[in-house]
Chain A
Amino acid sequence: MSSATHFRFEVLRTLRNRVFYGVTLALPLVLFFGVASGQRHATFNGTSFPLYFMTAMAVYGSMFAVVGPGARIARDIALGWTRQLRITPLRARTDLAAKVVSAYLLAVPTLVLLYLAGASLGVRLAASQWLELTGLILVGLVPFVVLGFVLGYLMPVDALTPVLGGIVVLFSLFGGVYGFELAKSGPLFDVMKALPSYWLVQAGKTVVAGSGGWPAEAWIVIALWSAILVPVATLAYRRNSARA
């Protein structure tokens, strides 16, 4: 008995879902080149526009990648496979872990492709800065992974796709992913700063500033979102199990 086979097949299933995989990889690339090609020498938000927008699109694509397990959970429930798994010795947490790993395995190539795209438009970072940027983004994605779980357990599969898409778009809009910020000060700016997506987009600028990662505020926002969503996901899981 080993969970390696389960991890392997979970990743394989993600890779075989070619439309999802292809769109998740391609969409941010297309947007990046479409918007940033004409503005490669512009500056934005105190940094170069290509760096800003490369980070933003890396965040955009990887957010879609990591809410993917939520859709997979809803689909497995709809297929009846979740019940079938519950009558095998496989632990539910092993299945969840495999879904997280496969989600991050999709997020990492999204990041790498965007980095290459950014470099082609003149973004230059030291190796340690690329790594730091990657680390910050992967950590900042945690609330989105958990959000995917919550919705996957609670929502029917046919409603889930537009809801997940809509949520990622809203987080993107308020987080400044689309290349503009809705506010620079005031209450709306306070709302923006309370979102993990805002700090994810700031990661590029943070890395270049060499300030040793995000300000404390960013870590608190990401930690709070995770701390609130994890118990909600646990409740959603229990609710689904009790209903099954």
Chain B
Amino acid sequence: MIPDAAPKGGIVLARLSKSYGPVQAVRSLDLTIAPGETVALLGPNGAGKTTTIDMVLGLTRPDHGTISVFGIPPAKAVQAGWIGGMLQTGAPLDHLRVRELIALTASYYPAPLGVDEVLRLTGADAFAGQWTTKLSGGQAQRVRFAAALVGDPDLVLLDEPTAGIDVEGRRNFWQSMRDIAGRGKTVVFATHYLEEADAYADRIVLIAKGQVVADGPATEVKAQAASGTIRGTLPDADMAALRALPGVLAADRHGDSVILSCSDADTALRALLAAFPAIHDIEVRGGSLEEAFMELTADHDDTATEAMEIAR
């Protein structure tokens, strides 16, 4: 690494907005990422993850707001070779072998890693002599990962890096990614796989409708949503009364079963037993990340719809 490339100030996205025609892909998004963090941008399709990553890479110009990558604008950081990116789309360049493509990419950077080292790190060494047009999906993904890493960037941005890859390919990929993060790199990856975000990120930034709806360690993101779920059998339940119980966020019915999503499961359970002594087969579970995800993104959806209705 060249001495003046020492990451300072991390990555700062301030009041970032981007629209495509009438579609607001990103709405006034604020996010600060410290050097060395591994952050997952988690959200459903169309949440604005790719647009956000493209703006940090300097590929897309924001309509409003600013981005600072280690203290400088994205285009400058790209020029300096501080950023490595793995885009969601893109096939490796043709008429080249894998090793040649990585050597070519390395030549663009001021202080690249060794080509052999990167091939080994990403597992692409097994097919380094192969033509780039003759790779399987998993092999092409490793090559693109190698291309993102070979410049030894301080910030690595990965846009849904394991989309369309089989289970073993994914496991290998995340193993390599951990090695990279272990070298003190700042890693930001977009995913809609909850388990990936949970397992591989220090911090999860949940994005829905172009905004950050939850941000923190996986455990904290769970806590920001339902702390637990209570399930029981209660025929002919008064749903409105259930929803009105203290500590209950939402109530659903499936046949004779009722499911309560709770902000405070303990309080809700005490109130439930007092108000509905007939309830039986009771189960109480801690909130899963998936439930938090569904709740936070769905919840936000409603407020966004309301906001749009008010705007009309």
Q: Which residues of A come within 8 Å of B, CB atoms?
A: 1-6, 9, 12-13, 16-17, 75-76, 79-81, 83-84, 86-90, 244
Residue from A5, A6, A75, A81 within 8 A of B90 (CB atoms): A81
Residues B91 and A81 in contact, CB atoms below 8 Å apart = yes
Q: Does B89 sit at the interface, judged by CB under 8 A?
A: yes
Residues A81 and B93 in contact, CB atoms below 8 Å apart = yes
Residues B109 and A1 in contact, CB atoms below 8 Å apart = yes
Residues A79 and B95 in contact, CB atoms below 8 Å apart = no
Closest B residue, CB atoms, query A75: B94
Q: Mark B55-85, 1 if CB is under 8 A from A, else 0.
A: 0011100000000000000000011110111
Per the CB 8 Å criterion, the residue count for chain B at the interface is: 30
B91: chain A residues at CB < 8 Å are 79-81
Closest A residue, CB atoms, query B91: A79
A3: chain B residues at CB < 8 Å are 107
Residues A6 and B59 in contact, CB atoms below 8 Å apart = no
B85: chain A residues at CB < 8 Å are 84, 87
Closest B residue, CB atoms, query A15: B95
Residues B94 and A87 in contact, CB atoms below 8 Å apart = no
- Nearest chain A CB to B119 CB, angstrom units: 17
Going nearest first, the 3 A-B pairs with the smallest beta carbon separation are A80-B90, A5-B107, A13-B95
Closest A residue, CB atoms, query B131: A16
B103: chain A residues at CB < 8 Å are 5
Residues A86 and B59 in contact, CB atoms below 8 Å apart = yes
Residues B93 and A79 in contact, CB atoms below 8 Å apart = yes
Residues A244 and B59 in contact, CB atoms below 8 Å apart = yes
Residues B110 and A1 in contact, CB atoms below 8 Å apart = yes
Q: Tell me, in angstroms, the Cα distance from A86 to B75 when the chains sit together.
A: 9
Q: Does B108 sit at the interface, judged by CB under 8 A?
A: yes
Q: Tell me, in angstroms, the Cα distance from A81 to B140 when the chains sit together.
A: 13
- Nearest chain A CB to B80 CB, angstrom units: 7
Residue from A5, A17, A76, A79 within 8 A of B104 (CB atoms): A5
Main secondary structure of the interface of A (DSSP, over half): helix
Residues B90 and A88 in contact, CB atoms below 8 Å apart = no
State whether A83 and B95 are in contact (beta carbons under 8 Å apart), knowing that A5-B103, A88-B78 are contacts in the complex. Answer: no
B80: chain A residues at CB < 8 Å are 89
Q: List 24 A-B contacts (CB under 8 A).
A: A1-B110, A5-B103, A5-B104, A6-B104, A9-B96, A9-B104, A12-B96, A76-B93, A79-B91, A79-B92, A79-B93, A79-B94, A80-B89, A81-B90, A83-B87, A83-B90, A84-B144, A86-B58, A87-B59, A88-B78, A88-B108, A89-B78, A89-B80, A89-B110
State whether A16 and B95 are in contact (beta carbons under 8 Å apart), knowing that A80-B90, A88-B109, A88-B151 are contacts in the complex. Answer: yes
Residues B109 and A9 in contact, CB atoms below 8 Å apart = no
Q: Tell me, in angstroms, the Cα distance from A87 to B107 when the chains sit together.
A: 14
Closest B residue, CB atoms, query A91: B79
Residues A80 and B87 in contact, CB atoms below 8 Å apart = yes
Closest B residue, CB atoms, query A4: B107
Q: Does B176 sit at the interface, judged by CB under 8 A?
A: no
Q: Does B147 sit at the interface, judged by CB under 8 A?
A: yes
- Nearest chain B CB to A3 CB, angstrom units: 8
Q: Tell me, in angstroms, the Cα distance from A87 to B104 when the chains sit together.
A: 14
- Nearest chain A CB to B312 CB, angstrom units: 31
Q: Which of B103-123 contact A (CB under 8 A)?
A: 103-105, 107-110
A80: chain B residues at CB < 8 Å are 87, 89-91
Q: Tell me, in angstroms, the Cα distance from A194 to B125 when the chains sit together.
A: 55
Q: Does B100 sit at the interface, judged by CB under 8 A?
A: yes
Known: A13-B93, A13-B95, A87-B83. 14 other contacts (CB 8 A): A5-B104, A6-B104, A9-B100, A12-B95, A13-B96, A76-B93, A79-B93, A83-B90, A84-B85, A87-B58, A87-B78, A87-B87, A88-B78, A88-B109
